Structure 1
Amino acid sequence: MAQRLELGMISSAWFDTSVGLEEGIRRAREIGFDSYDIFEDPLDIDDATRRLIKQTCREVGLPIRSVVCVNFGLVDFNPSVERFAMDRARAYIDQGAYFGARNLLLVIGEYYWDGEVFPYEAIWGFAVDRVRRLGDYAAEKGLEIVIELEPFSQALVRDVDELARFIREVGHPAVKANADISHLHLSGASFEDVGKLRGIIGHIHLSDCDGKKHGDLPAGRGVTPIKDYLKAIIDTGYSGTVSIELEYSPDPDRIVEWVEEAYRETSRIMSELGVREEARA
């Protein structure tokens, strides 16, 4: 029998909708999610808000597994920006530790100036060194860092080979990969390519897309072969959380239905693969 996986969602699904922070947590648990990922920036919220998040998740029985950080400054060449970017990343790690999370989901940035001022190798080197140092800090706090593959032309880590290479070069036991299923599809990864991440996957994001551009759609709304990618990930031995990523719903007034649909369809796929019980009615 295949290993069981948790089904979670990222709090950003509720952004720019009428569903507030506390209500979003309660709704997620009512819908049936097993866990929750927090997108809120630690520099934009206060201690009272952090306590509310933690207490509400604890009250409804929804553990926090990941905190999500987009941090392009990690590859900036200016020392002042580097200091800020590193301090901000550490603040996310501290927030994750407070929440009892397992990992910091980190988006590390893009190449710039077409590699003509700073060569691509130098920009890559900035990222490797800084993530390695963040790995030390995360390990001290009991967390891992998971690196996101971004399927865009200037992204540092834009396909499976670059993701695997990056993790190898960082060479830190607390730094792993985030396997984002729609990003795998948009980057042109084959199901066999997923095997290159064997032993280094620390988290999964799941959404659908139209096969051409980033979409964050509920499963079944696009053309991503989600079930096949998820099976390939399971075949690497991964055991952990699958987090649904939904952002910028085309109809914010119906966001609850959007999230319910994503939960239902993803849970169905997971149950067909034998890693989750059937979704609630």
Structure 2
Amino acid sequence: MAQLRFAQIAGMNLHYRMYSLDYFFDSMDKHGVSHIELWGGSPHLYSDTATDAQVKRIRQELNRRRLGLVCYTPEQIMYPFNIAAQDEAARRAGIAYFGKNIEIASALEAEYMLITSGWGYYNEPREEAWKRSCEALRTLADKAQGQGVTLLLEVLQPMESNLVTDLASLRRMLNEVGSGAMTGLIDTVAMAVAGETIGDYFRALGGVPHVHLIDGTPSGHLALGDGHLPVESYLKQLAEHGYAGYLTLELADSAYLTDPDAAFGRSVDRLRPLLSP
């Protein structure tokens, strides 16, 4: 059976946010990682304050360093943007936020941009929030299609949302939005929390274009080896399904903020013997 390749690893700057973006780029070079998923948030690239010149500089720096951009992921859990919000002004602000980020993704020449469903009040009928989310995602998918970007809809954990929280709700939302510019991805933590498997995703979606490969207990976005998820088994299953996309190490625990390079390095070192050169 063919193995996945080391070149499929992608770093992410989310847990590097207490350091400069150049430090993150240097860290990728240090560990021999040639692809990244760019987290869009302050201070590295926040859409509300980003300028065309800043976006252009980042694109030029990626080119200079020969770093491939596999996905652009604007912050959407820590920041108060909710496309399913009951308050209409808040919902419009959420749609505008993601619309601006679609434009940034296009300017960065990113093929994919990650997006989530938002959430509704837990004391209102879930279907009302579902309708608002679906309508917003349809609007954003139309914009993404016009910008040449494909949206990757990510499953969230129940503590983060009451909408798209497992494979069944992911499939339902994708079907109801009905856009060729939006598909799903695998996040191994959300998958494990929902009690689902790699095989479940491939059978349900027919193919998976992108993966967040992270450890957990099962929750938490931990460095590989800091949790107890069966990462080696995940890699074998992905290889069995012929997965050809990238494996983003999306580390998010605040324990890694002061020394992000060490956490990333441990994860890379754990993967290196499991992947083909």
* TM-score, reference length from structure 2: 0.86
Alpha-carbon distance in structure 2 between the residues aligned to 1:82 and 1:191: 33
In the alignment, what sits opposite 1:23?
A: 23
Alpha-carbon distance in structure 2 between the residues aligned to 1:237 and 1:172: 25
Give the counterpart of 2:164 among 157, 164, 172. 157
Give the counterpart of 1:217 among 202, 222, 247. 222
1:179–1:205 CA contact under 8 A, matched in 2: yes
Matches within 5 A, 1:120-199: 120-153=126-159, 154-199=161-206
Q: 1:210 to 1:113 in 2, by over 3 A?
A: closer
2:85–2:120 CA contact under 8 A, matched in 1: no
Q: Which amino acid aligns with 2:36?
A: Y
Q: 1:134 to 1:260 in 2, by over 3 A?
A: same
Q: Which amino acid aligns with 2:89?
A: S
Q: CA deviation at 1:200?
A: 4.9
Q: CA deviation at 1:43?
A: 1.3
Q: 1:128 to 1:256 in 2, by over 3 A?
A: same
Q: 1:209 to 1:92 in 2, by over 3 A?
A: same
Q: CA deviation at 1:142?
A: 1.1
Alpha-carbon distance in structure 2 between the residues aligned to 1:37 and 1:48: 20
User: How big is the alpha-carbon RMSD for the aligned residues of Structure 1 and Structure 2?
Assistant: 2.2
Matches within 5 A, 1:28-177: 28-40=28-40, 41-69=46-74, 70=76, 72-115=81-124, 119-153=125-159, 154-177=161-184
Give the counterpart of 2:14 among 4, 12, 15. 12
Show CA shifts across 1:228-277 (max 9, x none): 234434444442211110123425443212111112223433x1xxxx42
Q: CA deviation at 1:2?
A: 5.9
Of 129-138 and 225-234, the range deviating more from structure 2: 225-234
Alpha-carbon distance in structure 2 between the residues aligned to 1:176 and 1:32: 30
Q: 1:55 to 1:181 in 2, by over 3 A?
A: same
Q: 1:22 to 1:75 in 2, by over 3 A?
A: same
Q: CA deviation at 1:198?
A: 3.2
1:177–1:200 CA contact under 8 A, matched in 2: no
* TM-score, reference length from structure 1: 0.85
1:204–1:242 CA contact under 8 A, matched in 2: yes
Of 73-82 and 6-15, the range deviating more from structure 2: 73-82
Q: CA deviation at 1:20?
A: 0.8
1:12–1:247 CA contact under 8 A, matched in 2: yes
Alpha-carbon distance in structure 2 between the residues aligned to 1:141 and 1:26: 30
SS for the counterpart of 1:39 is: strand
- Identity value in percent: 20
SS for the counterpart of 1:54 is: helix
1:26–1:56 CA contact under 8 A, matched in 2: no
Q: CA deviation at 1:94?
A: 0.8
Of 240-249 and 69-78, the range deviating more from structure 2: 69-78
Show CA shifts across 1:142-170 (max 9, x none): 11000111122543111122112221221
Q: CA deviation at 1:33?
A: 1.4
1:176–1:200 CA contact under 8 A, matched in 2: no
- How many residues get paired? 265
Of 199-208 and 140-149, the range deviating more from structure 2: 199-208
2:86–2:120 CA contact under 8 A, matched in 1: no
Alpha-carbon distance in structure 2 between the residues aligned to 1:101 and 1:166: 23
Alpha-carbon distance in structure 2 between the residues aligned to 1:219 and 1:251: 12
Q: Which amino acid aligns with 1:198?
A: L
Unaligned runs of 5+ in 1: none
SS for the counterpart of 1:176 is: strand
